[in-house]
Amino acid sequence: METQGTQDTLREAPTADLGAAVAEVERFQADLHRLRTEVARAIVGHEEIVDGVIAALLCGGHALLEGVPGLGKTMIVRTLAAALDLHFARIQFTPDLMPADILGTNMIVEDERGAKRFEFQRGPIFAHIVLADEINRATPKTQSALLEGMQEQSVTVAKVTYPLEPPFFVLATQNPLEMEGTYPLPEAQLDRFFYKLKVAFPDRAQLHSIMDRTTRGEDPAVSRVVSRPRILEMREVVRRVPVARTVQDYALRVLLATHPDSPEAAAITRKYVRYGASPRGGQALLLGAKVRALFAGRFAVSCDDLRQVAKPALRHRIILNFEGEAEGIGTDRIVDEILHATPEEAPAR
């Protein structure tokens, strides 16, 4: 349901502007439908995961997919890359992977006259979509090689900074930390992921479809349906979606409720949380809600849109204290209780 503030904004807008907004939303939905349809040719189920990945891309963020091996995390990323007219690179993270294997390095090269000079050989990070496969199997030193690129859209090697061509999108997969041979991602890197998406085990009907496709020789081809310029245009459409002040205030109260020392903190936060979500969490809430509104064909953000994106936007930004870790309290439960305890309208002071 649209908020009253946003309805008033649209009613007061000139008719031409309102018509342009409606046309933008319809075109956005048409391109989204084509992309979803193309991905579904190769991926069974996982609609929420696919939508979450697309949302992160359109918001200018990055996505982290977590699940046990064999659930199709890598396949989702590869299929999405095939449906987009973008340069794709895959990096298989292993314990012996070095930062230079990701960023590139200066090499000595010899020209036709025999003169030698240093020349920068670009690494796989210089792509539009970078698949960081099993990212938590590399050491923290190697994981941190992605930090500058994810935040600044650039890479610095030997005091020279190289820009990354937009859109630059990191899609990382990781196995649960309980599995052998994994390293936890640093908090600073986790915070740079727009969404953390949990890939669940498929149900029986989906398993039947998977078995049919993978055991009968079927290999559905995926076509490129959305171009790079159009992706950049869709990003601009997302930014232009209006947010009523009351809706933004609700998002910020949810964000503050993740901090145990905040007056807005929920009871479960004070008991189990060490650190709450950063301002990037608030940005992810608002931008994610804008995309969700567009997905639904609306040029207006509601509080329900915020609630729908709260878990992927906040679950990896909440750091539990010792008691929370010892009792096995999941951050999803904390987000659920915060949403339950936070009213849509700010209480009178």
Closest to 169 in 3D by CA, of 262, 235, 267, 114:
235
pLDDT average, residue stretch 143-172: 89
| pLDDT reported for residue 179 | 58
Architecture field, domain 1-25+241-343: Orthogonal Bundle (1.10)
Contact (CB, 8 A) for 52 and 76:
no
Question: Cα(214)–Cα(70) distance, rounded to whole angstroms?
Answer: 13
| pLDDT reported for residue 295 | 92
| pLDDT reported for residue 323 | 94
Most confident range, picked from 68-82, 169-183, 221-235, 309-323: 309-323
The one-letter amino acid code at 312 reads P
The CATH number of 42-217+225-230, from 3.40.50.300, 3.40.50.720, 3.20.20.140, 3.30.70.2860, is 3.40.50.300
pLDDT band at 177 (very low <50, low <70, confident <90, very high): low
pLDDT band at 1 (very low <50, low <70, confident <90, very high): very low
Q: Is the confidence at residue 148, as pLDDT, over 80? A: yes
Phi, psi of 145 (to 5 degrees): -65, -20
- What is the bridge-based pairing of β-strands 129-133 and 88-92? parallel
Residue 106 burial class via C-beta count within 10 angstroms: exposed 0-12, middle 13-18, buried 19 and up: middle
Question: Cα(170)–Cα(125) distance, rounded to whole angstroms?
Answer: 9
| pLDDT reported for residue 23 | 84
pLDDT average, residue stretch 15-37: 82
Same fold, 1-25+241-343 and 42-217+225-230: no
Q: What is the pLDDT of residues 198-209, one digit of tens each?
A: 888 888 887 887
Token digits for 50?
A: 């696919």
User: 128: how many CB neighbours lie within 10 A of its CB?
Assistant: 20
Q: What is the pLDDT of residues 58-90, one digit of tens each?
A: 999 999 998 877 777 778 888 888 888 888 999
Closest to 161 in 3D by CA, of 104, 235, 236, 92:
104
pLDDT band at 221 (very low <50, low <70, confident <90, very high): confident
* Residue predicted with more confidence, 29 or 112: 29
Domain edges within the chain? 1-25+241-343, 42-217+225-230
